[in-house]
Amino acid sequence: MAIKTSFSIKDLENLSGVKAHTIRIWEKRYKLLEPERTDSNIRTYNNASLQKILNIAVLNKNGIKISKISSFNEEELFEKVKELTIGSRENTVALNDFKIAMLNFDQFLFEKTYNRLLVQNSFRDVFLKEFIVLLQDIGDLWTTDTIDPMHERFISTLIKQKILINIERIQPVHSKNDKAFILFLPLNEMHDIGLLYLHFELILKGYKSIFLGTSIPTEDLRELQNVFSEITYVSYFTIEPSPDLVIDYLNTIEEKVLSNRGEQLHILGRSTLGIKKQDISDNIKIHESIINMIDSL
């Protein structure tokens, strides 16, 4: 796939968080960007313009007035952003760098940004403070057609590699008890980054965690009760089951798996947002975020 080198003003808005109307004002009043125009007079922007608006947005969000920013030349703009990189607002700068790496399929920039973060942060901090925000933004960018599925797949694969490396580093020889956490995704659900990270957290806490991965049939979960004496199931619903089918799916899990021994299923994800507590079994626990689930397990 070719690298994306031309962006609409709406793309810039989606990627930077700066409204298109504001970008137009900045262009007109401060000459901050110089867009090209199509034959039909539609603004288009190159990679340099995207990088510049991302840097401008970082400085503006951190209290520097746009009138002041407009006085910076390219080198001064870069240096001001660099100062933030080594300060307390590293996350904003890193997020922009990860986005640029994604758009350009630039693994070198991804690794450079990730390693820079690790200088002062643990992997856990990087994931919870940086990667979660990045993945949320990617979801929004995908739905607005700012990025293609290949962009999402590229960056997701790199993030999963980091999780797997860190799982390998902490993999214990023995768990601290016989309780098993079974991590799985429903049929046709392929978004496994959040679940894989929960696997890392459970191992870090010393639990026996079994990561089954994507698209697991319900009947297979029941078979695991012949292997483990006590199970807590964990799942992450992003696109499957769909919101209109999620209650039926959970009722099936309760009937065929959980009720047999009164075990629990912990869930989170986009498809769980509309679920009402009274519509599901007490054996099923819904969490608002990964951090919320980690704290409860």
Residue 90 has pLDDT above 90, yes or no: no
Higher pLDDT, 196 or 179: 196
Q: What percent of the chain has pLDDT over 70?
A: 94
Answer yes or no: are the C-beta atoms of 179 and 230 closer than 8 Å.
yes
Q: What is the 3-state secondary structure (H, E, C) of 31-63?
A: CCCCCEECCCCCEEECHHHHHHHHHHHHHHHCC
The residue from 42, 59, 85 where one domain ends is 85
Q: How would residue 173 be classed by pLDDT, with cut points 50, 70 and 90?
A: low
User: Both 227 and 262 in a single domain?
Assistant: yes
User: Both 132 and 199 in a single domain?
Assistant: no
Average pLDDT over residues 112-123: 93
User: Both 199 and 243 in a single domain?
Assistant: yes
Comparing CA positions, the residue from 270, 260, 290, 293 lying closest to residue 281 is 260
What whole-number distance in Å separates Cα of residue 171 and Cα of residue 162?
A: 14
Question: How confident is the model at residue 88, as a pLDDT?
Answer: 47
User: Both 7 and 41 in a single domain?
Assistant: yes
Comparing CA positions, the residue from 101, 111, 58, 60 lying closest to residue 81 is 58
User: Both 71 and 97 in a single domain?
Assistant: no
Q: Tell me which DSSP letter residue 4 carries.
A: P
What whole-number distance in Å separates Cα of residue 190 and Cα of residue 31?
A: 45
Question: How confident is the model at residue 224, as a pLDDT?
Answer: 92
Residue 26 has pLDDT above 70, yes or no: yes
Render pLDDT for 229-258 as a digit per residue (tens, 0 to 9): 999 999 999 889 988 899 999 999 999 999
Let me know if 171 is exposed, middle or buried by CB neighbors in 10 A (0-12, 13-18, 19+).
exposed
pTM for the whole structure: 0.83
Structural domain boundaries, residue 55: 1-85
What whole-number distance in Å separates Cα of residue 124 and Cα of residue 126?
A: 5
The CATH number covering residue 163 comes to 1.10.1240
User: Both 166 and 177 in a single domain?
Assistant: no
Q: How would residue 2 be classed by pLDDT, with cut points 50, 70 and 90?
A: low
Reported in sequence order, the residue ranges of the chain that DSSP labels E, i.e. its strands, are 36-37, 43-44, 180-184, 208-213, 231-236, 264-268, 284-286
Comparing CA positions, the residue from 128, 131, 126 lying closest to residue 295 is 128
User: Both 11 and 76 in a single domain?
Assistant: yes
Average pLDDT over residues 196-211: 93
Answer yes or no: are the C-beta atoms of 168 and 211 closer than 8 Å.
no
User: Both 181 and 284 in a single domain?
Assistant: yes
User: Both 196 and 153 in a single domain?
Assistant: no
User: Both 73 and 108 in a single domain?
Assistant: no
The residue from 142, 170, 198 where one domain ends is 170
Render pLDDT for 148-170 as a digit per residue (tens, 0 to 9): 889 899 999 999 999 999 999 98
The residue from 144, 170, 196 where one domain ends is 170
User: Both 5 and 72 in a single domain?
Assistant: yes
The CATH number covering residue 252 comes to 3.40.50.280
Please count the structural domains in the chain: 3
Q: How would residue 85 be classed by pLDDT, with cut points 50, 70 and 90?
A: low
Residue 89 has pLDDT above 50, yes or no: no
Average pLDDT over residues 74-78: 83
The CATH number covering residue 53 comes to 1.10.1660.10
User: Both 8 and 73 in a single domain?
Assistant: yes
Question: How confident is the model at residue 58, as a pLDDT?
Answer: 84
Maximum CA extent, the chain: 70
